[in-house]
Amino acid sequence: MLEKYEMGRTVGEGNFGKVKYARNVITGQPFAIKILDRHKILSLNFHHQIKREIETLKLLNHPNVVRLHEVSASKTKIYMVLEYVNGGEMFDRIDIKGKLPEEEVRKLFQQLIDGVSYCHERGVYHRDLKPENVLTDTKGTIKISDFGLSALPENNDDLLHTTCGSPNYIAPEVLANRGYDGSMSDIWSCGVILYVMLVGRLPFEDRNIVVLYQKISKGETKIPTWLSTGAQNLLKRILDPNPKTRIDMQGIKSDDWFMQHYIPAVPYDEEEDKAHDTGFPIKESVEVDGQRKPTVINAFQLIGMSSSLDLSGFFEKEGISERKMRFTSSYPLKDLFEKIEEIVTKMGFLVQRGSAKIKVIQYKKGTARRRESFVAAAEVFELGPSLYVVELQKSYGDSCLYRQLCSKLSDDLSICKTEEMLVKTQSCDPDIARFHEEKPQAAAL
């Protein structure tokens, strides 16, 4: 047992642990729990990839991406509660059947592109797309998995610079080591997957890795003439070694072959679905009589929210203080939301208001496509009568800009920092003070 999950058979194994089938004993819903050996991860310096995978999956909420429901940790293990996909890897499907019928391939490829383009719209680039990292269920729905090598743009040039990925699926521009567009390199990998599904073998193969990379760099492959004309043309446009002339996502989605019987996937409703929250789960606030009603939290939950006790810091790409900040405010609730919106708008951000959160966005300048360069969310919790905790959390973007935003909001709205409130709360309640003394031991897990 792991809390409310009853674990059963092992459904997969990797370098750092196992994946077990699990069942929620309350709802009966199936899950896959990835159990990772924490000591092994740290000893092999692989913790950055695990952090990246968890942080990335928290951003993604799409039918064609494996969903992360919860994360917990013990002294020796990390547990990732994931969506259970009952059909296995796409690799196994191809390995058993060889090439797949074109109609079946088109349906799978449409889903792959839907999932990958959704990731790109959120600034996430997979960088290791291959059939082993694409799962399928018994209904033929694909789920993209394994985001351990995923990335956001690393420098001001909006390019990625780390050479990574699986040799046969890696894009030519990645090999050139001069910086590359993560979107276009993922599209190349999707093209290799499309070729493998249609033809039953890899487009670029050689036992000598140097020769293999030469073939990839030149785009040296033969596209079988027995494929339909539409499939041949799309493969040629995707497997173009020049990323500047390679077809992009918009081009793929308007391609005649791709468009046949195409029904775009609809992302899950992020306001209603809280599956990506980790750490201390708190229910979404709701509207009452047309006004926002914040979540009411007690002193124990406030202690749990303390940055010094928040286990989620283990999974953050940056330190927890670099991505999440909280302060208290006595502004009336209605005025508080309006004041936050007014402040961030004056700072040049765009605002999207949901039923319980304010999303703060900045878009990249000077690019043809409208892409987000900074995303953060402000959420309000009720601590007591006329006293609220404001939580500001960055999804991704410039840390300097985030600190400026935090500083401005806290200076204009706060009455005291959350940590100061903890001291006051503990001094008034001996039970809570005792709980706080015991808590660090649990937090060390």
Could you tell me which residues are annotated as the binding site for ATP?
Answer: 34
Closest CA to 406 of 355, 349, 445: 349
Q: How far apart are CA 38 and CA 50, in angstroms?
A: 10
Closest CA to 185 of 254, 240, 121, 111: 240
HSE at residue 182, side-chain half, CA atoms within 13 A, is: 26
Rounded Cα gap, residues 218 and 209, in angstroms? 14
Beta bridge partners of 34: 19, 80
φ, ψ at 183 (rounded to 5°) = -65, -45
Say how far apart CA 24 and CA 45 lie, in whole Å.
33
**Using the 8-state DSSP alphabet, how is residue 2 labeled?**
B
Q: Which segments of 127-172 are extended strands (E)?
A: 134-136, 142-144
Q: Is 17 left (phi over 0), alpha (psi -120 to 50) or beta?
A: left
- How many CB atoms lie under 10 A from the CB of residue 75? 8
Active site residue 412: no
Neighbours of 371 (CB within 10 A): 15
With beta carbons less than 8 A apart as the criterion, state whether 372 and 363 touch. yes
At 82, which amino acid appears? L
Sequence-ordered list of residues with C-beta below 8 angstroms from that of 296, at least 6 positions apart, any chain: 381, 382
Q: To which residue do tokens 């494929």 refer?
A: 227
92, 95, 128, 181: the catalytic one is 128
Q: Per this entry, what is the length of the chain?
A: 445
Active site residues: 128
